[in-house]
Structure 1
Amino acid sequence: MSEALLDRWLDDVELLAPRAGRDLWLREGSLLLRGWGEAHRRYHTVEHLGEVLAALDELTGAGALDAREALLARTVGWFHDVHYDPRAAAGSNEHRSATMARDHLHALGVDDRLVDAVEAGVLMTAAHEPDPGAPHTRVLEAVHDADLWILSAPAHRYAAYRAQVREEYAHVPDDAFRAGRGRVLAGFARRERLYRTAHAHEAWTGRARSNLAGELAELGQQG
């Protein structure tokens, strides 16, 4: 998977930073994949990155994004969990990932306006609450939905995702984990609209609601 992802990165970064050159493109791609491949990760891995990019491809194919917006959304996807420490304080991972995005995109010579938009997209994933009045709203909404695609995954993948999250937070005692996980999932379950784009709302909501209800029931909570 990493080799295929590196090829995808090279395609994207050539559009983002055509003057940087292949050596810098490769260096930055290798850095990204090292981050996503850290040994302590269980869910926030290259598998998750690949799923986010695939979800963005699906949304682009459905007309949620034009080609320029899709490139910007994928760039957010590349960086949104490049730093991930399950022991970090809430929001810390997203802020550090956003800082890395800004630093490394600047090093590539990416336009400041695009860098600002990528930073905003990464930070949005902390709370998953896109600002409807913000610039690049369509990009933010697509990233929001792609990052939450996993909630709508087929049953076997959703079960694996649940196990991966628990392994990633193995340092948290069971009672505390169940309570925290329940709060997060219940927050999503209570949303009137879980997904922001029309395609995700229509195609993914049913499975997501079913997955959420099933897990919340096992946790002894209601959505």
Structure 2
Amino acid sequence: MADTDVLRARFARALEGARGPGGGPDPAPYADNLLGRWREPQRHYHTLAHLTAVLDRVDTLEEHADDPDVVRLAAWFHDAVYLPDRSENEERSARLAERALSEAGVPAERTSEVARLVRLTVTHDPADDDRNGQVLCDADLAVLASPPSAYAAYTAAVREEYHFVPNDVFREGRADVLRRLLGLPHLFRTPHGQEHWEATARYNLRGELEMLSTPAMPPA
């Protein structure tokens, strides 16, 4: 389980870095609100463990970002609103970021950048010159390069979040997502991601797609 005290401190550092001189309100209530959202019962993959993993990967990739603290805040907000049966989660998360960060004293330009990055996670397809977007998207997608057992746990958790979707519908939808990802020229845009994650992620995606494309066996 993620250490919430450590996460609160990480949020405070990112918020203070993004606010710059002058400060603002106490970061703790904002951190606690977000932590409560990431603990909601409908989440099985999009949990505090996922948030922590994304933040860790942003730390790994921070040299490739133009504004690492803004990317860290975008990681905090990118799935802050998450209802599996809704299609506008990213937009609602971005609007939450706009409201909260403005109130918390983050300058308008940086608040807008956080919201833009959150919206970018709809496609995970940043522009070639979008260094902040490349870091956030790579950090979010790095789970695709997990070892076999961790990848299997990831796919099982995603399926559990969509437990209300019939199997055939889920398989078709998930296969479409995998094909779209495999169709990208690069899954990862940072040099680190391309070197360390790209090949393994594509191997995992192709394996999952092959499994989803295999007709289910009828019950005995």
**Normalising to structure 1: TM-score of the pair?**
0.90
- Aligned equivalent of 1:87: 85
- For 1:173 and 1:46, locate their aligned partners in 2 and report how far apart those are by CA, in whole Å: 27
- For 2:16 and 2:61, locate their aligned partners in 1 and report how far apart those are by CA, in whole Å: 22
Native 8 Å contact 2:55 2:139 kept in 1: yes
- For 1:115 and 1:11, locate their aligned partners in 2 and report how far apart those are by CA, in whole Å: 16
- For 1:127 and 1:95, locate their aligned partners in 2 and report how far apart those are by CA, in whole Å: 12
The answer to whether the aligner puts 1:4 opposite 2:6 as a matched pair is yes
Which residue, 28, 31, 34 being the options, matches 1:29?
A: 31
Could you list the per-position Cα deviations for residues 178-219 of structure 1 after superposition, in whole angstroms to 9, with x for gaps in the alignment?
000000011111222111111101110111011111101101
Native 8 Å contact 2:15 2:69 kept in 1: no
Aligned-pair distance for 1:94? 0.3
The answer to whether the aligner puts 1:71 opposite 2:92 as a matched pair is no
- For 1:52 and 1:97, locate their aligned partners in 2 and report how far apart those are by CA, in whole Å: 16
1:180-199 residue pairs with structure 2 within 5 A? 180-199=173-192
- Aligned equivalent of 1:20: 24
- For 2:171 and 2:93, locate their aligned partners in 1 and report how far apart those are by CA, in whole Å: 27
Secondary structure of 1:85's counterpart equals coil
Aligned-pair distance for 1:153? 1.2
- For 1:108 and 1:78, locate their aligned partners in 2 and report how far apart those are by CA, in whole Å: 14
Q: Give 5+ residue unaligned stretches, structure 1.
A: none
Number of residue pairs matched by the alignment: 210
Aligned-pair distance for 1:88? 0.2
Which residue, 166, 170, 175 being the options, matches 1:177?
A: 170
- Aligned equivalent of 2:148: 155
- For 2:50 and 2:125, locate their aligned partners in 1 and report how far apart those are by CA, in whole Å: 20
Aligned-pair distance for 1:59? 1.1
Aligned-pair distance for 1:12? 1.6
- For 1:127 and 1:164, locate their aligned partners in 2 and report how far apart those are by CA, in whole Å: 21
Moved over 6 A (4+): none
Aligned-pair distance for 1:46? 0.7
- Aligned equivalent of 1:214: 207
- Segment drifting more, 3-12 vs 174-183: 3-12
**Normalising to structure 2: TM-score of the pair?**
0.91
Secondary structure of 2:81's counterpart equals coil
Aligned-pair distance for 1:131? 3.3
- Aligned equivalent of 1:109: 105
Q: CA RMSD in A?
A: 1.4
Secondary structure of 2:207's counterpart equals helix
* Corresponding letter in the other structure for 1:76: A
* Corresponding letter in the other structure for 1:178: R
Secondary structure of 2:118's counterpart equals helix
- Segment drifting more, 183-192 vs 173-182: 183-192
- For 2:5 and 2:45, locate their aligned partners in 1 and report how far apart those are by CA, in whole Å: 19
- Aligned equivalent of 2:121: 125
- Aligned equivalent of 2:217: none
- Aligned equivalent of 2:57: 55
Percent of counterpart pairs with the same letter? 38
- For 1:164 and 1:31, locate their aligned partners in 2 and report how far apart those are by CA, in whole Å: 23
Aligned-pair distance for 1:16? 2.6
